[in-house]
Every structure is written in structure tokens, then in C-alpha cells.
Amino acid sequence: MTNHLEDAFKRNLNAAEQGDTDALFIVGDMYFKGYGVPQDKEAAFKWYILAAEQGVAEAHNKLGCMYGNGDGVRQDYVIAYTWFAVAIAFGNLSSVKELEKLYACHLTPIEVSQAAIRSLDWIKKIKMSVK
């Protein structure tokens, strides 16, 4: 017999495969935390990217956290800053503090400029695909 988390994972996976953007993020989160499935940060990353491409601000924030902490991916502060900036553009204001920390402690002005350009590219790409 399966437990409620396994059932929830199956329901969300089915919804995600049908294109439900919220479910894309939830599946990623369930993989990340090991809820209803074995923890798999590589799979979580895949689902977070899919959600991020659909404009899910929580996914942008989670990708920023993963890159900022080197959690399941190679640590990269420029990419982390990029995702936090995208998250802010899509309404996730909790990313502001993370962005400020990266700016203050880990990035040069040139790296911030690179991240800003990348984030604008992502924002345009996402807005074009979500129309």
C-alpha cells in the first residue's frame, strides 16, 4: 500500500506531464526533499527548470538557491544571481535578500553585469514562451 506522499507525487507527476505549471514545481520540490520518492536533486533540477521556463517564480528562486549553495549543482554565484533576478521579475520578492547577499559578498561588478544580461535574456525567453 502506498502512503499519501507517494499518491500525491503520482498525482502531481501526472498533472505535470499534462502541462500543469504548478505541478512542475511541486514534482521538483518532492524530488528535492524526497517526499513520496527517493531524494534526487538531479531530477529536482530538471523539473525546476521546466517550471522556470513556464514563469514559475518559486522555481526561479529554488534554482538560485541551488546554484548559490552548490546544492545538487556546481556552485555558481553568477547563475544564482541570474535566477534570483528572474524570480524577482516574476514577483518572488523573497529573492531580493538572496540577491543582495550575492552582490555584497560574492560577485564583482563585472559578474553582476553578466548576471543581469543573462537574467534579461531569461525573462524575455520566458515571457515569449508563456504568451
DSSP designation for 3? -
Residues 80, 45 share a domain: no
Residues 61, 112 share a domain: yes
What pLDDT score does 1 carry?
42
Residues 8, 71 share a domain: no
What pLDDT score does 65 carry?
96
What pLDDT score does 2 carry?
57
Total H helices, total E strands in the chain: 7, 0
For the chain, the domain total comes to 2
What pLDDT score does 130 carry?
77
Mean of pLDDT over the chain:
94
Domain interval for residue 25: 1-54
Taking only the tens place, the pLDDT of each residue in 85-109 is 999 999 999 999 999 999 889 999 9
Residues 90, 36 share a domain: no
Query: Using a CB cutoff of 8 Å and minimum separation of 24, what contacts does 114-118 make?
Result: 114/78, 115/78, 115/79, 115/81, 115/82, 115/85, 116/85, 118/78, 118/79, 118/82
Taking only the tens place, the pLDDT of each residue in 52-69 is 999 999 999 999 999 999
